[in-house]
Amino acid sequence: MGQLVHTLPKCEEVRGVTLLAGEIYLLRRKERDHVEEYDVTTYRLQRCLTVPYARDFIDMISCEHNRCVYIGDYFAECVHRLDVQGALTRWAVNDRPRSLSVNAAHNVLVTCPRVRKIIEFSSHGDLLRELTLPDDVIWPQHAIQTRSGQFIVCHGGHGNPVHRMCMISADGSHIVHSHGGQRGSNTDQYNGPAHLAVDDNEFVFVADHYNRRVTLLSPTLEYVRQGVSRDQLKGPPWSLYLDTRQQLLFVAGNEEEDEWRGYAAVFSV
């Protein structure tokens, strides 16, 4: 079980967390100062950045190679690119993104649930390819590409009966392994698998949103243990980021009080 190291201040709703160049980037859903930067050692707030023309942020991921973070914008159907120097650009996805990841080629993978696609872009938004997922992968929430080229995908939205993890072939045509099935709360079930993180040995952390826990799976998607328990989280987890060097798992989520309040917790794993 992961051990809590630190919790960042609880404030407006959180939509993503990532790490880049010694800084924690936290994405808030608010009118301005969308991106908060914290020092990864002291956890002190360094600065806030406002992303112009933002409509509804949904996820964020970093790329050490290109020294930038990418932010998915759901209603604007685009990706914003933010350099560590502060330069901002964006490009159109032409569908509503749910989540982002970066593969070994340093390209951006955008998961679009409505059309059941993974769309791959270069770092500056050149369209490289589109993969349509198998018919029974309904409402994909997040996809990560492994070093072998296969995809780990979590799928199942609020109104869907099947909630599971799938390993999908590199061409997107068929399912190689899966874990889960009918929506539920047992160790072999999920209720809103929302986001993923994969370590250097390709073990998979799954943010199980409505069950309010993080599950750890083997590289072939077999259950290993709970990574973070329900009691360790302040609310349903929305987004994950794994720092493989320090073995720290960043969990961002939201807790409903009088209104939704966002948190980000750091666990040693």
Share of the chain above pLDDT 90, in %: 89
* Total residues found in the chain within this entry: 269
The average pLDDT across 165-186 equals 96
Task: Output the pLDDT for position 31.
Answer: 85
Beta strands in 146-269 (DSSP E): 151-155, 162-168, 175-182, 193-198, 204-208, 213-217, 223-228, 237-243, 248-256, 260-268
CATH number given to 3-268: 2.120.10.30
The average pLDDT across 72-95 equals 94
pLDDT tens sequence across 3-56: 999 999 888 999 999 999 999 999 999 888 899 999 999 999 999 999 998 899
Beta bridge partners of 11: 262
Is 259 a residue whose pLDDT tops 80?
no
Alpha helices in 35-79 (DSSP H): none
Task: Output the pLDDT for position 179.
Answer: 98
Tokens of 193: 């698998």
pLDDT tens sequence across 208-226: 999 999 999 999 999 999 9
Q: For the chain, what is the largest distance between any 2 Cα atoms, rounded to a whole number of angstroms? A: 46
Give the single-character DSSP code of 211: T
Task: Output the pLDDT for position 85.
Answer: 84
Angle at 118 between CA 117 and CA 123, to 5 degrees: 145
**Mean of per-residue pLDDT scores for the chain:** 95
Task: Output the pLDDT for position 233.
Answer: 93
Task: Output the pLDDT for position 256.
Answer: 80
The average pLDDT across 188-204 equals 97
The average pLDDT across 240-253 equals 96
Q: pTM of the entire structure? A: 0.96
Is 158 a residue whose pLDDT tops 90?
no
The average pLDDT across 105-131 equals 97
Residue ranges per structural domain of the chain: 3-268
Question: What is the pLDDT confidence band of residue 148, given thresholds at 50, 70 and 90?
Answer: very high
- Supply φ then ψ for residue 248, to 5 degrees: -115, 130
Is 258 a residue whose pLDDT tops 70?
no
CA distances to 35, 219, 221 from 75, in Å: 18, 34, 32
Question: What is the pLDDT confidence band of residue 262, given thresholds at 50, 70 and 90?
Answer: very high
Task: Output the pLDDT for position 246.
Answer: 93
Task: Output the pLDDT for position 223.
Answer: 97
